[in-house]
Amino acid sequence: MNSLYRYRGWVLGFFSLLLLLLPPTRGYFSVSAVLLILSGVALRIEARRSIGEHTRENALSADFLVQTGVYAHLRHPLYLSNIMISCGFILIHLGWSTMTFAFSGLVIAFIYALSLQEDRFLQVKFGESWVLWKDKTKAFFPTKQELKPTNAKKRSIRKAFFADLSTWGWLLFFSLLLILRRNIGDMI
C-alpha cells in the first residue's frame, strides 16, 4: 500500500498526460478555475509554512504530528491543495462539461485514497494523539477551532515557496503544455 504513496507523482503525471490527450474546450475561459488554482497555491504555501522543515519525499514518515497553523483546521491541506489545483486545470482545459466532473472524480478519488493511507500511517505512528486530533479536525473541510498560542516556528512564505520548487516547475511546465495543446488545436 505504501507504493500508492511512493508513486503518487507518477499517477498524477499520468492523469496530466491523459488530460492533455482530451480535446480542449474552445473559446472558453474560466475565472472560477483560475481562482481555484490560485487558492490551491495559497493553501499549499501556507501548509508548507506550517510543516516547517518537515518533509517526506517518497516514503511515508513523520518525526512529529503537525497540528498547528493550517493543520489546526485541516488534516490534509496539501492534498486539498492538490485537488484544487488539479480540478482548476481540468476546468480550464475541459470547461464545465460532464467529462470535467468524471475526470475530476478520478483525481479526487486517487487523492482521497492517499489521504486514507496517510491517516492509517499517522494513527499507527502517533496513536491516541492522532485520534484526538482527528476527532476535532476534518480531513478536507476546515473546522473552526479556538487556536491556542504555540511556540511552533513557521517557515517564511519565501522558504515555503522554495520548499516546493519542483512542484511549481511542474505546474508551470504543465500550464505551458495546456496552452500549447490549445494553440495547436486551433491551428489544425
Model-level pTM? Answer: 0.85
How many Å apart are CA 49 and CA 52, to the nearest integer?
Answer: 5
pLDDT at 76: 95
Of 70-84, 106-120, 147-161, 169-183, the range with the lowest mean pLDDT is 147-161
Share of the chain above pLDDT 70, in %: 87
- Tell me the range of 35-39, 89-93, 164-168, 181-185 where mean pLDDT is highest: 35-39
Residue 42 in this model has a pLDDT that exceeds 70: yes
Q: Which of the four pLDDT bands, split at 50, 70 and 90, describes residue 175?
A: confident
Grid cell digits, residue 167: 512542484
Reply yes or no on whether the pLDDT at 18 is more than 80: yes
- Of 53, 122, 49, which is closest to residue 81 (Cα–Cα)? 49
Domain ranges, ordered by start, for the chain: 2-187
Contact by Cβ (8 Å): 27, 140 = no
* CATH number 1.20.120 given to 2-187: yes
- Lowest-confidence region among 14-18, 137-141, 148-152: 148-152
> What is the rounded average pLDDT of the residues 139-150?
71
pLDDT, residue 24, reads 87
Q: Where are the alpha helices (DSSP H) in the chain?
A: 2-6, 8-21, 31-51, 77-94, 98-126, 128-136, 157-163, 165-187
Between 127-136, 141-150, 168-177, the lowest mean confidence (pLDDT) is in 141-150
Q: What do you get for the CA distance between the two ends of the chain, in Å?
A: 44
- What is the torsional sign of CA 153, 158, 163, 168? positive
